[in-house]
Amino acid sequence: MVVRAELMVVLEAPEAWLVAVGARRDPAAFRSLFEHFAPRLKGFFVRGGLDPARADELVQEVLVRVWVHARSYDPARASANTWVFTIARNTRIDVARRDSVRATALPDDGVSGGPEGPLVALQSRHEAAALRAALQELPDGQRVVLERAYFEERSLSEIAAQEGLPLGTVKSRVRLAFERLRVALGAGR
């Protein structure tokens, strides 16, 4: 049966590793998460302009938080990629603001909402695949603006200054890119 085959895929996916770490503190699942995410996280941070040693520290900090907060991961609400991304984002912000107060965006605040149901982990994987395809098809100008926003956490006015573009152009590229991505997400549902 098709559903059964798809479920097998889900069980081997990062979503299942996160659930196993959350439920049982499973070291083997954590190793799988480490092998999958650590090099990507490092690449993500290095692309964002961190030097490799600093990126190493940050990656470890992210993975510690993944371990500690895995219990609050809900595969019905986000794919593993998305959840780890939000942890990485919050970790980078927290490290940058270490000396200042901050109590808003811990990962279990879970800003991302989503539908509920038994096969939603599968669904979020389909969405991720649809999104990836849509991102690849974006015109270069739109993709570059999004990459700068995400990898480098640049505000749109900083991107405009860097790229020598009017702010209005950068804003409309983000808007256009998101319209396309929204269509892709709709199609993945």
Partner 1 sequence: MTHHPSDELLVAYASGAVPDGVELVIACHLERCPLCRAEVAAAEAVGGVMLDEAPAVPLSVDFDALLARVVVAPPAPARPPPAPDPVFPAPLVRRLSTTMSAPFVGVSGLPWRFVVPGARRVSLPVGPGPRATLWLFGGGFRPPRHTHPGDELTLVLSGGYRDRHGAFGPGDVEERAAEDAHEQRMDDEGCVALIVDEGPIVPTTWFGRLLARFASG
Touching partner 1, residues 58-77 (CB under 8 A)? 59-60, 63-64, 67-72
List CB contacts of 67: < 8 A, sequence separation 6 or more.
21, 25, 30
51 near partner 1, judged by CB under 8 A: no
The residues in 10-29 that bind partner 1, with binding defined as CB under 8 A, are 25, 27
Decide if 167 contacts 178 (C-beta within 8 A): no
**C-alpha span between 18 and 24 (Å, rounded):** 10
Query: Can you tell me whether residue 113 is helix, strand or coil?
Result: coil
Site for partner 1 in 73-112 (CB under 8 A): 78-86, 88-90, 92-93, 97, 100-106, 108-109, 111-112
Question: To the nearest whole angstrom, how small is the minimum distance from the Cβ of residue 11 to partner 1?
Answer: 19
Name the minimum Å distance from CB 1 to partner 1: 28
Residue with tokens 């695949």: 129
- Residue placing its CB nearer to partner 1 in the complex, 2 or 98: 98
- Residue 70 Cα distances to 24, 39, 87, 182, angstroms: 10, 19, 11, 28
Q: Give me the least distance between CB of 13 and partner 1, in Å please.
A: 12
